[in-house]
Amino acid sequence: MIGNAVPVKLGEYVGKCILDYIKASEVADWKLIKQQYPEEIVNHEEESVKDIDKSRNVLISLVKADNMEQYIDQSAKIYYTGKKFPSTVALNKLYYFMPYVKEHGIRDLYLIKIARVGTRKEGQPNNDPNDFRLVFEIEFIKQLFPDYKKVHLDIWQTFKDTTLGEMIE
């Protein structure tokens, strides 16, 4: 197209519009999910982790700078996703959570006690009560690596959905 008299900038603009449309169609509809799962999507609240099960699903998610400290000191109890969350992740299969600390990587393993739909207003009162997010109530299990391990985040360079075994082997 670009080689046949279509200006390069126009071709770039059309390409970006198509990419934005594809990305937007992969984003979960939180209001619909909230209706389907009014209380929780995942509930492992009663479980205690004695042994790590490598066959279980783990979600690795980027942690933003404004709440990074609680993940570095392993005191985090909750994780809010961003406004966009990929609809390709099987929420009902998630068991573990690993925070990806920007510029460091992964190190720690958490149990997802509960996954549910919530809003940013729950944790930050000045936020919009209609700003729906996926909320993970998490519990620290253990530090898996002596130092941070860099991994490639597959989905929008923000998430990775895999099994624990693939991450530690």
Task: Encode pLDDT of 32-73 as tens digits.
Answer: 766 666 667 777 777 767 788 999 999 999 998 877 899 999
Which pLDDT value is given to residue 157?
Answer: 84
Which pLDDT value is given to residue 81?
Answer: 86
Residue the block writes with tokens 């999507």: 41
CATH number of 28-168: 3.10.590
Q: What is the rounded CA–CA span in Å between residue 7 and residue 52? A: 55
Residues 6 or more apart whose Cβ sits within 8 Å of residue 34 = 117, 132
**Residue 84: burial class (beta carbons within 10 Å; 0-12, 13-18, 19+):** middle
**Residue 40: burial class (beta carbons within 10 Å; 0-12, 13-18, 19+):** middle
What mean pLDDT is predicted for residues 13-31?
A: 67
Which pLDDT value is given to residue 65?
Answer: 81
Radius of gyration of the chain (CA): 18
Q: How confident is the model at residue 145 (pLDDT cuts 50, 70, 90)?
A: very high
Which pLDDT value is given to residue 169?
Answer: 77
Give residue limits of the domains in the chain: 28-168
